[in-house]
């Protein structure tokens, strides 16, 4: 299992130093929030551009926005590894088409209360399925263990479809191995990682 650090709750006083500490991660997870789909507002394309400039790691852009089509152009220009939109957002089909058209990996996210079987409508078009293990909008929440039943369902679909399973929210050392054992491919880790004295060593140990 690979680790994608989330920048949402990271200390940003020295961004260059932070990204150097994260260099052994799989990719950088960027939560873009519009204050509508979720109550919080995080950051936009200019901050993501700065991350791309300072880091060699691929970008994993997670759009927690009501109307992703309105935002896609800004982030497609960054050539990220993945852009993930929420199945609960508007114009999901059109968003997926635009992402694919631009040669970027398509991610589809599911909130904790959203039935995972809805993924079947888009399973042939997605490269990553993101299972939210907290309610989206704020970092530092407690991991919702029951969400891992969605991972079990996705494992069945992976037998005939090629996609990555990612979890996001509340991941730490108390549940990391559990995620790994259930077949999660990528875990997004945020608040827990930034409390560690040696982030680099932890990432190397979990590479």
Residues noted as catalytic: 31, 168
**Structure tokens belonging to residue 61:** 């852009």
Q: Quick one: tokens of 126? A: 């997605």
The rounded distance, in Å, linking the Cα atoms of 152 and 88 is 21
Contacts of 97 (CB under 8 A, 6+ apart): none
Q: How far is CA 64 from CA 47, 57, 60, 90, 150, in A?
A: 16, 21, 13, 11, 20
Q: How far apart are CA 190 and CA 54, in angstroms?
A: 19
CA distance 126 to 100: 9
CB 188 within 8 A of CB 4: yes
- Distance between CA 5 and CA 57 in Å, rounded? 11
Q: What is the rounded distance in angstroms from the CA atom of residue 111 to the CA atom of residue 95?
A: 18
């Amino acid at each position: 299992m690979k680790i994608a650090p989330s920048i949402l709750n990271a200390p940003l006083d020295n961004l260059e130093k932070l990204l150097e500490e994260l260099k052994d991660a799989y990719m950088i997870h960027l939560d873009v929030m519009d204050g509508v789909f979720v109550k919080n507002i995080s950051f936009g394309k200019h901050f993501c551009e700065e991350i791309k400039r300072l880091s060699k790691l691929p970008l994993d852009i997670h759009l927690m926005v009501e109307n992703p089509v309105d935002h896609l152009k800004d982030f497609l220009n960054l050539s990220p590894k993945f852009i993930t939109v929420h199945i609960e957002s508007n114009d999901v089909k059109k968003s997926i088409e635009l992402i694919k058209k631009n040669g970027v990996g398509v991610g589809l996210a599911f909130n904790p209360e959203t039935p995972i079987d809805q993924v079947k409508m888009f399973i042939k078009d997605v490269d990553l399925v993101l299972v939210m293990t907290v309610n989206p909008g704020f970092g530092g929440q407690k991991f919702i263990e029951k969400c891992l039943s969605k991972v079990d369902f996705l494992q069945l679909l992976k037998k005939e479809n090629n996609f990555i399973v990612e979890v996001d929210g509340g991941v730490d050392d108390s549940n990391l191995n559990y995620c790994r054992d259930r077949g999660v491919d990528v875990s997004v880790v945020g608040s827990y990682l930034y409390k560690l004295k040696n982030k680099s060593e932890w990432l190397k140990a979990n590479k």
